[in-house]
């Protein structure tokens, strides 16, 4: 059993651009971070992971999880750190027994197949089965020494349920859709339990020191518009209304990201979140025109653009900055996670270009 690590004194933030942009307050340059910024494209990540053994052992070791969280910040002038963990910690804590098959991604030994499986599931205690995550948050917060804010995160109930019911990654989502359309009451019971679990998990991350939280709805975009509202958005909205929105005397902004959710921006923005994450399939100019000043926007360069030469990356960053236009409310990011074979130098070009080219939009 891991030991509780106490909360430490929280030094004032030296760089708060990321939080200011989410609050639409003036900034000097557009803040930037990268989804999956800690990971296998960095040789130092691979080295630390080898020390830990497998991926979950890395997540469960607060010092090593902290180390890999900080690695990208040592290389690039990123404006935020993101907790090193995974969205599948919650289903694992619910007893599904997460494991990683070499080269095949996540799998569960005990996937959900029927009502009895759903009825068995409880709400994990964030300072119990998931205390290793909170210990990582506390350790990272201590080691960041106020340099940049720390982002906490969770998967959305729908996205977590896809892994729990499919038993791992999926392409067609037939098992969960079969449950959604043939036995919707069972799926709704699961989604309710997940919404309660995510709410208490994120609130515990905030209490432990996360200064902003993000919900990853990676698979909401595989649903029809009506089904998206019924099976995904409704539950994210419930989470947003249950979150601690202020801590340490400052707002704790919430970002919702539905991959392929560009059609539903207005509905996502209406949940009460502070920011909507965009993938690259929507033009950010159009997104801003549709959303106005209701919420901030995060995104949205195609992660594959990082394979391009430096000049092309810079040009694309410039186009996206111009698309968003003048003023605060934009957090630059990739439209999804960085690919594992991207040369780290290219990520550096991306981050530097955002800072260099965005000055003109913040006068
Ligand atoms: O080292 C390894 O081999 C493990 C690869 C890996 C990593 C680096 C996994 C397994 N998870 C992570 C870390 C991770 N996962 C972070 C860390 C913080 C950072 O961004 O630096 C975050 C935020 C996640 C979130 C996550 N995990 C999502 C949502 C975001 C997204 O990319 O859409 C999802 C869907 C997962 C599931 C998962 N975990 C790991 C993999 C390879 C996957 C994806 C499987 C699939 O494609 O279905």
Each residue's pLDDT tens digit, 321-359: 999 999 999 999 999 999 999 999 999 999 999 999 999
Q: Is the CB of 240 under 6 A from ligand 1?
A: no
Extract the annotated binding site for substrate. 36-40, 86, 163, 218, 336
H/E/C letters for each residue in the chain? CCCCCCCCCCCCCCCCHHHHHHCCCCCCCCCECCCCCCCCCCHHHHHHHHHHCCHHHHHHCHHHHHHHHHHHHHHCCCCCEECCCCCCHHHHHHHHCEEEECCCEEEECCCCCCHHHHHHCCCCCCCCCCHHHHHHHHHHHHHHCCCCCEEEEEECHHHHHHHHHHCECCCCCHHHHHHHHHCHHHHHHHHHHHHHHHHHHHHHHHHHCCCEEEEEECCHHHCCHHHHHHHHHHHHHHHHHHCCCEECCEECCEEEEECCCHHHHHHHHCCCCCEEECCCCCCHHHHHHHHCCCCEEEEEECHHHHHCCHHHHHHHHHHHHHHHCCCCCEEEEECCCCCCCCCHHHHHHHHHHHHHHHHHHCC
What global pTM score does this model have? 0.96
Has residue 1 been placed in a domain? no
CATH code at position 100 = 3.20.20.210
Check pLDDT > 60 for residue 1: no
Q: Quick one: pLDDT band at residue 4, thresholds 50, 70, 90?
A: low
The token pair at 124 is 């994990």
Whether 9 maps to a domain, the answer reads: no
Query: 169 in ligand 1 pocket by Cβ < 6 Å?
Result: yes
Note if 45 is an active site residue: no
Whether residue 144 lies inside any domain: the answer is: yes
- Determine if ligand 1 sits within 6 Å of the CB of residue 327: no
Query: Rounded to an integer, what distance in angstroms lies between the CA atom of residue 28 and that of residue 30?
Result: 7
Q: What is the pLDDT of residues 226-244, one digit of tens each?
A: 999 999 999 999 999 999 9
Per-residue pLDDT tens digits for 281-331: 999 999 999 999 999 999 999 999 999 999 999 999 999 999 999 999 999
Tell me, what's the ipTM?
A: 0.93
* pLDDT at residue 102, as a whole number: 79
Q: Establish if 312 belongs to a structural domain.
A: yes
Residue 6 lies in a domain: no
What's residue 267's pLDDT?
98
The total of other beta-carbon atoms located within 10 Å of residue 322's CB is 15
Spatial CA neighbour of 78 closest among 144, 131, 12: 144
Domain that holds residue 241: 17-361
330-334 and 296-301 strand pairing? parallel
120 lies in some domain? yes
**Residue 288 falls within a domain, yes or no?**
yes
For the question of residue 40 being annotated catalytic, the response is: yes
Question: How many structural domains does the chain have?
Answer: 1
Residue 4 placed within a domain? no
**Is 49 an active-site residue?**
yes
């Amino acid at each position: 059993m891991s030991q509780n690590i106490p909360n430490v004194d929280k030094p004032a933030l030296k760089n708060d651009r990321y939080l200011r942009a989410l609050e639409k307050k003036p900034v000097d340059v557009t803040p930037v971070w990268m989804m999956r910024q800690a990971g296998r494209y960095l040789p130092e990540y691979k080295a630390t992971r080898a020390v830990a053994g497998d991926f979950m052992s890395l997540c469960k070791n607060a010092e090593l999880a902290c180390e890999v969280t900080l690695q990208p910040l040592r290389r690039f002038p990123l404006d935020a750190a993101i907790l090193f963990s995974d969205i599948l910690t919650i289903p694992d804590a619910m007893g599904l027994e997460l494991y990683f098959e070499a080269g095949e991604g996540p799998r569960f030994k005990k996937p959900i197949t029927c009502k009895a499986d759903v009825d068995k599931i409880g709400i994990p205690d964030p300072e119990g089965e998931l205390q290793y995550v909170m210990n990582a948050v506390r350790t990272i917060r201590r080691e960041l020494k106020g340099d940049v804010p720390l982002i906490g995160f969770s998967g959305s109930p729908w996205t977590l349920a896809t892994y729990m019911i499919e038993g791992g990654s999926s392409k067609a989502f037939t098992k969960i859709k079969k449950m959604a359309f043939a036995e919707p009451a069972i799926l709704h019971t699961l989604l309710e339990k997940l919404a309660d679990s995510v709410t208490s998990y994120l609130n515990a991350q905030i209490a432990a020191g996360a200064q902003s939280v993000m919900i990853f709805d990676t698979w909401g975009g595989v649903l029809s518009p009506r089904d998206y509202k019924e099976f995904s958005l409704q539950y994210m909205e419930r989470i947003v209304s249950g979150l601690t929105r202020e801590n340490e005397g400052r707002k704790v902004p919430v970002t919702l990201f539905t991959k392929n959710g560009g059609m539903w921006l207005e509905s996502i923005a209406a949940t009460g979140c502070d920011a909507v994450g965009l993938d690259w399939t929507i033009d950010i100019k159009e997104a801003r025109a549709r959303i106005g000043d209701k919420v901030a926007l995060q995104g949205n360069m195609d992660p594959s653009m990082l394979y391009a030469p430096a000049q092309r990356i810079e040009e694309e960053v410039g186009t996206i900055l111009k698309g968003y236009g003048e003023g605060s409310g934009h957090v630059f990011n990739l439209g999804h996670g960085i690919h594992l074979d991207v040369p780290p130098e290219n990520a550096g070009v991306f981050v530097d270009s955002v800072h260099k080219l965005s000055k003109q939009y913040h006068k």
